[in-house]
């Protein structure tokens, strides 16, 4: 029994170390956001201040970057989720000999370093959009190129998420609807899409978050514009200021809130499902055992 006890203690200690490694740096950084010295330090803690949050709010480049990040994020969602959906549907129906090739092409951006995706996007679109004065003037923009570059791999993530759910779709539902006289578009809008809704939502969330925090691809594709992350990178390169810590505190706070809300929603859903199955079991039992006459 003692060896079991020792084992348990060791596992506990290991998990403690793992999370210390994971959270330690973030915790120290968070403390520096509330400390007064201009060089971000946690110890000694001189006095509490919110000055760095004010500095952050007044940082014009960062606010402009934040706006661009939002636009790019929404653009990536608008492009990647429909593309992922279409690719998942085509993956099921494509000519079987071409499927391997199609799969390879669609997942290759996931396995390519983001730097290379960024570089190839810029090299390609510079020549394509630079071909005419009009497209060069109106479309050769950092925001558009970033949406293109990020979508190339984000769409692959969306495809994988949507495909996983599509594999559980029962084709009999589609057949039934067609037999009852539904048209093909009706089947798509009223049966397939509602079935895929959870996957579409999580694909959209992941697409937005991935786009928002991307650095490697964006730093090339953004050209002369800026996003929040590229502004951050510039700031970190120049030096260190507690305003960056303040930004991190805000991001950690938002992700924490998001994670907790997600957990609560999931728990509610499970409880509702449990209640439903309980009710079904009672109903079933009353059918099997005939009521006393």
Partner 1 sequence: MSSRFLVFVIPLVVILVFWLMAKREQGQSHDPTRKGFFERNGTVLGLVFIGLVAFWTLFLVVLPYLYMAVESFHPKLVPAKRGGPEDVLTIAQYKSFFVEPSSGDWNTTHLWAFGYTIVISIIITALNFAISYPLAYYMAQAGTLQKVRLLMLALIVPYWVNEILRAFSLRLLLASKGLINQALMGIGITDGPIDFLGNNTGLFVGLSYAYLLIMVFPLYNAIESLDKNQIEAARDLGAPWWKIHRDVVIPYAKPGIASGCTMVFMLSAGSLAAPQFLGGPRTLWFTSIVYDFFFQAFNWPRGAAYAFILLAACIAFVMLMLRLFKVSLGETIR
| In the complex, minimum distance from the CB of residue 95 to partner 1, in angstroms, rounded to a whole number | 4
Cα dist from 234 to 182, 229, 249, whole Å: 56, 9, 19
Give 127 or 287: the residue with its C-beta nearer to partner 1. Answer: 127
| In the complex, minimum distance from the CB of residue 282 to partner 1, in angstroms, rounded to a whole number | 25
Give 49 or 216: the residue with its C-beta nearer to partner 1. Answer: 216
Q: 3-state DSSP helix/strand/coil percent for the chain, to nearest 5?
A: 80, 0, 20
| In the complex, minimum distance from the CB of residue 205 to partner 1, in angstroms, rounded to a whole number | 11
Q: Which of 217, 70, 233, 63 is nearest to 145 (CA)?
A: 217
| In the complex, minimum distance from the CB of residue 132 to partner 1, in angstroms, rounded to a whole number | 15
- Calculate the dihedral angle through the C-alpha atoms of 71, 73, 75, 76, rounding to the nearest 10 degrees: 160
Residue with tokens 């925001």: 143
Per DSSP, 192 falls in state I
Residue with tokens 């907790």: 260
| In the complex, minimum distance from the CB of residue 134 to partner 1, in angstroms, rounded to a whole number | 18
| In the complex, minimum distance from the CB of residue 145 to partner 1, in angstroms, rounded to a whole number | 11
Q: Calculate ∠ Cα 242-246-247, nearest 5°.
A: 120
Q: Which of 99, 203, 249, 220 is nearest to 150 (CA)?
A: 220
In the three-class reduction of DSSP (H, G, I as helix; E, B as strand; rest coil), residue 101 is classed as: helix
Give 256 or 280: the residue with its C-beta nearer to partner 1. Answer: 256
Give 68 or 245: the residue with its C-beta nearer to partner 1. Answer: 245
Give 50 or 131: the residue with its C-beta nearer to partner 1. Answer: 131
Give 68 or 152: the residue with its C-beta nearer to partner 1. Answer: 152
């Amino acid at each position: 029994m003692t060896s079991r006890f020792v084992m348990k203690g060791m596992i506990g200690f290991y998990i403690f170390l793992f999370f210390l490694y994971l959270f330690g740096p973030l915790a120290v950084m968070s403390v520096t956001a509330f400390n007064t010295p201009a060089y971000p330090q946690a110890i000694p803690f001189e006095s509490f201040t919110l000055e760095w949050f004010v500095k952050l709010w007044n940082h014009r480049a960062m606010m402009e970057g934040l706006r661009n990040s939002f636009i790019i994020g929404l653009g990536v969602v608008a492009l990647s989720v429909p593309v992922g959906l279409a690719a998942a549907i085509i993956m099921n129906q494509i000519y079987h000999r071409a499927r391997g090739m199609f799969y390879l092409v669609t997942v290759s951006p996931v396995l390519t370093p983001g730097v290379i995706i960024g570089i190839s996007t810029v090299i390609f679109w510079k020549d394509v959009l630079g071909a005419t004065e009009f497209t060069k003037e109106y479309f050769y923009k950092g925001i558009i190129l970033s949406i293109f570059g990020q979508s190339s791999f984000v769409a692959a993530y969306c495809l994988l998420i949507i495909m996983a759910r599509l594999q559980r779709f029962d084709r009999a539902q589609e057949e039934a609807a067609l037999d009852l006289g539904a048209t093909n578009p009706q089947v798509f809008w009223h049966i397939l899409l509602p079935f895929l809704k959870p996957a579409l939502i999580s694909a959209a969330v992941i697409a937005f978050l991935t786009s928002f925090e991307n650095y490697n691809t964006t730093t090339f594709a953004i050209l002369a514009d800026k996003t929040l992350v590229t502004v951050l990178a510039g700031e970190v390169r120049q030096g260190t200021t507690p305003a960056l810590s303040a930004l991190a505190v805000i991001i950690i706070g938002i992700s924490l809130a998001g994670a907790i809300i997600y957990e609560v929603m999931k728990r509610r859903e499970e409880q509702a499902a449990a209640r439903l199955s309980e009710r079904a079991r009672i109903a079933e039992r009353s059918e099997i055992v005939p009521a006393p006459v």
